[in-house]
Structure 1
Amino acid sequence: MKLLYSIHKYDVFMFTWLINTRAHTALTQTSRYLSKTGDGSLYLLIAGFLFCYEGIESPLLHAVLLAFLIERPVYFILKNGLKRNRPEAALQNFHSIITPSDQFSFPSGHTSAAFMMATLLGYYFPALLIPLYCWATAVGCSRVVLGVHFPTDILVGLLLGISVALFSLGQI
């Protein structure tokens, strides 16, 4: 329990530091847009595109579907099993910039899905891997800037997304 308390204390320190930086206000609007790219519509569009142009036999489409069939239940079990409060509920006198879609914060589903898709797409299109990981990192960071996640929520989302993607590709 001492380790979890230490991690939480560090998380709160990093979160508070970021929220109080001068750059926070400037990042807010950009973060809203970045966060929306991780809402899920883009993933459906990619799956639809793959289905239309490559058909049901698309290896990438298979990997994407398998990954989401694994990632969403694992994410749901972790989030609702661990029940870590979001910053607004955990910190006094703090209000997030957006209203999250659910109550708990750990892990970040936006980050998990973004890194999962970045890994899957990067596997099939290696030249895009670095820009895709930059986008996924920006999605994760946007969630902290918007005040709905702590930094470790993002870190665990990253690990979950990449792990599930590699599993669905048969790499682990």
Structure 2
Amino acid sequence: MMIQRPSLQRMTAADARAMCWLLRQPRAAHRAQLARGISRLGDGPLYVFLALVIWLLDSTDGARFAQAAVIAYGLEVPAFMLLKHLIKRPRPADMDTTLCVFLKPADRFSFPSGHTAAAFVMATLMGVFYPVGASLMLAFATLVGLSRVLLGVHYPSDIAAGALLGAVCALAGVVLVG
């Protein structure tokens, strides 16, 4: 096991208490079924589909939206992968083997949540380009993050970091598109 810095240890301890409380609640397995469906929606193809539809339907801002999305995801994916491999925070079940895990994660490390980062890229872009649809996308992005916690593969702070990373990458994409 990797030795963690004191600040990361404190954050992990608080996260672990939250995880234990959430995943040991009655009906945790039932909630995990719904969470699995939401998490799958956050895998990525939905965002490509949305960007393409917006690009095709909005002759005014659709191309800029799609360009900002390409740039934002081009920043977000390597950034979250780099952070995961620099920080090397173990998944919740790797820290506490009594926790229920309802999904096999794609990699070993949890911080930050890539699913949440990707969802917040799209939610932030919608907020900038299409404020009317922003609240729906923000709710969806929040549910994607929550689903990752309910599935036992991320701590709450992984979700917060993923949300921040996604929003920053989206705003960078908007600035770079101009």
Is the shorter-chain TM-score for this pair beyond 0.5, marking a shared fold?
Answer: yes
C-alpha RMSD over aligned residues: 1.9
Q: Deviations over 1:87-121 (max 9, x none)?
A: 12111233411111111111000000001111102
The Cα of 1:164 is off from its aligned counterpart by: 0.9
The Cα of 1:53 is off from its aligned counterpart by: 4.4
* Structure-1 residue corresponding to 2:41: 37
Moved more, 21-30 or 91-100: 21-30
The Cα of 1:44 is off from its aligned counterpart by: 1.9
Matches within 5 A, 1:1-172: 1-53=5-57, 58-170=63-175
State the distance in 2 between where 1:34 and 1:92 align.
25
| Stretches of structure 2 lacking an aligned partner (at least 5 in a row) | none
Q: Deviations over 1:62-90 (max 9, x none)?
A: 10001011111111100111111111211
| Stretches of structure 1 lacking an aligned partner (at least 5 in a row) | none
Moved more, 5-14 or 162-171: 162-171
Superposition TM-score, scaled by structure 1 size: 0.91
SS at match of 2:175: coil
Q: Which residue identity does 1:86 align to in structure 2?
A: R
Superposition TM-score, scaled by structure 2 size: 0.88
Specify whether residues 129 and 52 from structure 1 end up closer, same or farther in structure 2 by C-alpha distance, changes over 3 A only. closer
Q: Which residue identity does 1:99 align to in structure 2?
A: K
